[in-house]
Amino acid sequence: MQHRLHGARGSVVQVAVIRQTGSRETLKLTRETQKREVIDYHLFPQDSEVGYIRLRSFIPSLSCEGVKEGVRSLMQQGAKRLILDLRQNVGGSMLEGVCVSGLFTGARDQVGTLNSPLSIPRADLVHVFEQSPGIHWIQGFSLAPLTVPLALLIDHRSASSAEIVAGVLQIYGAAWVIGRRSFGKGTAQTVEVVEGHPSLQIAATSALVFLPNHLSNQRVGITPSFDEPLTQDPPDGELLIERESELHPNAVAAQNLPWEDERQDQIKAIRNCIDEHHWDQFYLRRLGYANGDYQRAFAAAVLKCESENNTR
């Protein structure tokens, strides 16, 4: 279907619509270039020291450049601290994820992939805690990492490349991760077109993904540095949240247990600062999120306390 809808700008395509009632209608559509708003960014209202970047997916040759341009623009406008929002970002290009994380960590190992058929016994999988035999490590593309206080937002829908970025930046201490545990997709797929059927594609899982701490987010996700709800007072029993382990019970098994951010002393100091000065409430009021986005306000509070106490 998709390949039939695509065509030259200005050309016309006819689409037949059959409704549940049985009625049929033919529509004539003029093709136009569709601009995908993958990224947007702006300064926080009434606080020009905090820049906010929302990245919705990882699209080749677009997402990483967009983040780079967003950082440059916001810092030129006076931003001293940044929030990168990857909530509801289900992933996309792995290399774009590596590129984004590399912007803040430089040319260090970002992600490792272990190519292996799924039919091999679990016991035969490489033991990554030793010297990582068989793991192909991909390094960041940036030789001069950006040094800016950074908070990163994730939720249960943050998956795949979004988890790579969150995990890498947390492990290297380049960002505080705030929100809820992520989806838990730590595999890579190879996509092939079915011969004779160009509109049909088959995606086969072909690799496990490991982060720089030699652990995989498969099924376990990324545990945030600060586990915070979307709203300050969530209802009893938050809405049922489904991740990889619930949605796909036959998916590749977890390779390890979840892990925590190692900077527990700094995390405790930041929490004490927020509790003492009520920075989360300050940003809730100042940014107009009194009944909404507590995670974003809390991220701003984390960066505020970090800047005042130099806790990273």
- Which of 95-104, 114-123, 232-241 shows the highest mean pLDDT? 95-104
CA distance 158 to 183: 6
Q: Average pLDDT for residues 122-140, to the nearest whole number? A: 55
Of 64-73, 243-252, 266-275, which range is least confident?
243-252
CA distance 101 to 103: 5
Do 283 and 295 touch, CB atoms closer than 8 A? no
CA distance 55 to 153: 10
CA distance 221 to 184: 4
Of 4-13, 89-98, 123-132, which range is least confident?
123-132
CA distance 81 to 103: 15
DSSP-assigned beta bridge partners for residue 209: 113
Which pLDDT score, from 0 to 100, does residue 100 have?
A: 95
Question: Which domains are present in the chain?
Answer: 1-34 (no CATH), 37-258 (3.90.226.10)
Backbone angles phi, psi at 8, to 5 degrees: -65, 145
DSSP 225-271: SEE--SSSSPPSSPPP---HHHH-TTSPPPSS-----S-HHHHHHHH
Q: CB-hemisphere CA count at 13 Å for 146?
A: 21
Which pLDDT score, from 0 to 100, does residue 32 have?
A: 78
CA dihedral sign of residues 125, 127, 128, 131 = negative
The band of 35, judged by pLDDT with boundaries at 50, 70 and 90, is low
Which of 300, 227, 236, 223 minimizes the C-alpha distance to 262?
223
The band of 260, judged by pLDDT with boundaries at 50, 70 and 90, is very high
Q: CB-hemisphere CA count at 13 Å for 225?
A: 33
Which pLDDT score, from 0 to 100, does residue 3 have?
A: 56
Asked whether the predicted pLDDT for residue 308 surpasses 90, the reply is no
Model pTM score? 0.81
